[in-house]
Amino acid sequence: MQLFYTPDITDSPIYYLSEEESKHCIRVLRLQLADHVNLIDGLGGLYEAEIIDAHPKKVALKLLSLQSEFEKRNHYLHIAVAPTKNIERLEWFLEKATEIGIDEISLLNCARSERKEAKAERLNKIITSAIKQSLKAYHPQLNEITPFQKLVTQPFNGQKFIAHCEPGHKLQLKDAIKPNGNYLILIGPEGDFTPKEIEDALQNGFEPITLGNSRLRTETAALEACFEVNFLNR
C-alpha cells in the first residue's frame, strides 16, 4: 500500500495531504477515490486511511485505523558520528541505519573532522525516504553539528561508548551492552579521534569499544555499531 509521511497529523478524523503530496498521490501514483493508503507520523503511529476526495492539489483522507508504537524497538540507539569528507558516505549511512534501526544521530565536530558542516534538511529528506521505503513509523532524530566537547559532557541516561583505533584496552559491544537499554556510541572522523578526545570521553563515563579487527571507514564503522546494537537486542 502507498505510504505517506504525515508528521503534522492530528486527532482529526480527516487529513489533507499537502499540495505536493496530493499531486504525487493523484498525478504520479494515480490513486483514486476510495483507494486506501498508509500514513506514518514519525512518532510510532501507522494509520490506514481512505481517499474521500481525490483533489489533485488537496487530497482528503478519512482515517480508518491507527496502530500506535508500530514496531517499537526494545532499545534506544543514539550514534554520534563525524560527517565524512564525501557527504554521500554519510548519506548512505543515514539511509542504511534507518533501515536497520536507529533513534537519534548527532553529527560530531571533532579536532580531525574533514567536514565541519552538513545540511540537515537534505539529510533529513534521506532519512524520511528511508523510513517510507522500509515502513518505519518512527522518524530518527537528526541533530545539527555538535562540538565533541559539548556532546561528551551532555547528560545521557544509558550506556556510553566510544569506538576508536588507538591502542589500549577495549571491550566488544557484545560483552559490554546491557540488553534493552539506551546507548550512545561515538564514531570518529577519517583520521580518528585525538588521544585527548578519547581521554575526555573516558573521563565522562564512555567505555572504549572495538568494532572488530577490520580497518573500517567512518561510515562503515557507524553502520557496524548500528548493526551490532540491533543484532544484540534481537
Question: Which residues 102-141 are close enough to bind a copy of itself by CB under 8 A?
Answer: 133-136
- Angle, helix 120-133 to helix 87-100, in steps of 10 degrees: 30
Q: Strand ranges (DSSP E) for 54-163?
A: 60-67, 76-81, 104-109, 141-147, 159-163
3-state secondary structure of 202: helix
Quick check: 190 binds a copy of itself (CB under 8 A)? no
Quick check: 212 binds a copy of itself (CB under 8 A)? yes
Quick check: 58 binds a copy of itself (CB under 8 A)? no
Quick check: 100 binds a copy of itself (CB under 8 A)? yes
In this structure, what DSSP letter does residue 42 have?
B
Quick check: 99 binds a copy of itself (CB under 8 A)? yes
Strand-pairing partners, residue 146, are: 108
d(CA 11, CA 38): 16
Which positions from 170 to 189 touch a copy of itself by CB under 8 A, shown as an x/- string?
--x-x---------------
Nearer Cβ to a copy of itself (29/52): 29
Quick check: 69 binds a copy of itself (CB under 8 A)? no
Task: Give the residue among 48, 5, 9, 50 at the shortest CA–CA distance from 31.
Answer: 50
d(CA 215, CA 121): 31
Nearer Cβ to a copy of itself (72/169): 72
Q: Which positions lie near a copy of itself, rule CB under 8 A?
A: 71, 92, 96, 99-101, 133-136, 172, 174, 212-217, 220, 223-224, 227-228, 230-231, 234
